[in-house]
Amino acid sequence: MTTLERTDTELSRLLMQRRVEEFFYFEADLLDAWRLDEWLALFTDDATYVVPSTDDPSADPADSLVLIDDDRERLHWRVERLKSRHAHREYPWSRTRRFISNVRVVSASEDEVVVRASFIVYRFRAGHADQFIGRYRYRLEPAGDSFRIRARRAELDQERLSPNGAVSMIL
């Protein structure tokens, strides 16, 4: 029986991986439960939330038409809208279930952790089951043993928003 050598570097890498995954599962739970105020509180004041158009998942919202390009203020209004009875595509709220996997910590420093992950979001409403599949890119700010979100980007793999029509919930 061989002894597994565990270096401090490896342990800290595993710990980081575990913390990031826990954070993603926590965030997914908040979103699936529509606990949007708690979700919004995860974001830093200078945070961004971007969903590129389906023709170019790498598009820069500064020079390309995307689907969503929210700063913290726009995100606040998006949440207010979804909490009201007047975001008609989400009143009543759809049922969603998020699966996050293939989590890769791209880089980690004391100041910032960069992560990418795969997602599947199922959305059920009005007799339809729609799926949104793609890749998340996060820039996270370490905060104790958890994180705050500086940048959150959901890049869809599908070629068009068909037949799911709109990104009416948080992706």
Partner 1 sequence: MHAETYIVDEPENSIFRVNRATMTSPEILAKEWDTIFSLNWLYIGHVSELAEPGEYRRRTVGGRPLFFVRGKDDVIRAFHNTCPHRGALICRQDEGVASTFQCFYHAWSFDTSGNLVGLPDEDGYGPNFDRSERALAQVARLEQYRGFYFVNFDREAVDLHTYLADAKEYLDLVADQSLIGRMKVVKGVQSYSMRANWKLLVENSIDGYHALPTHQTYFNYLQGMGGMAAAAAPTPDGQLPPRGRGGVALGNGHAVVDGRAPWGRPVARWSPTLGEEAKGEIEEIREQLIQKYGREWGLRIAETDRNLFIYPNLIINDIMAITVRTFTPVRPDYMEVTAYELAPEEESGDRLHRRLRNFLEFLGPGGLATPDDVEALESCQLGFGSGGVTWNDISRGIHRKALGSDELQMRTFWRQWNAQMTGTPASRWDDGPIAPREPVTAGTR
Q: For Cα atoms 20, 44, 70, give the angle at the middle one, nearest 5 degrees.
A: 100
Using the 8-state DSSP alphabet, how is residue 42 labeled? T
Residues that bind partner 1 (CB under 8 A): 51-56, 59, 61-69, 73-74, 77-78, 80-81, 84, 86-90, 126, 128, 159-168
Task: Specify the residue, 17 or 168, whose C-beta has the smaller distance to partner 1.
Answer: 168
Task: Specify the residue, 17 or 164, whose C-beta has the smaller distance to partner 1.
Answer: 164
Task: Specify the residue, 83 or 116, whose C-beta has the smaller distance to partner 1.
Answer: 83
Q: How far is the CB of 128 from partner 1 (least distance, A)?
A: 8
Q: How far is the CB of 138 from partner 1 (least distance, A)?
A: 18
Q: How far is the CB of 104 from partner 1 (least distance, A)?
A: 26
Q: How far is the CB of 35 from partner 1 (least distance, A)?
A: 19
DSSP string, 77-124: HHHHHHHSS--GGGSSPPEEEEEEEEEEEEEE-SS-EEEEEEEEEEEE
CB 25 within 8 A of CB 101: no
CB 138 within 8 A of CB 115: yes
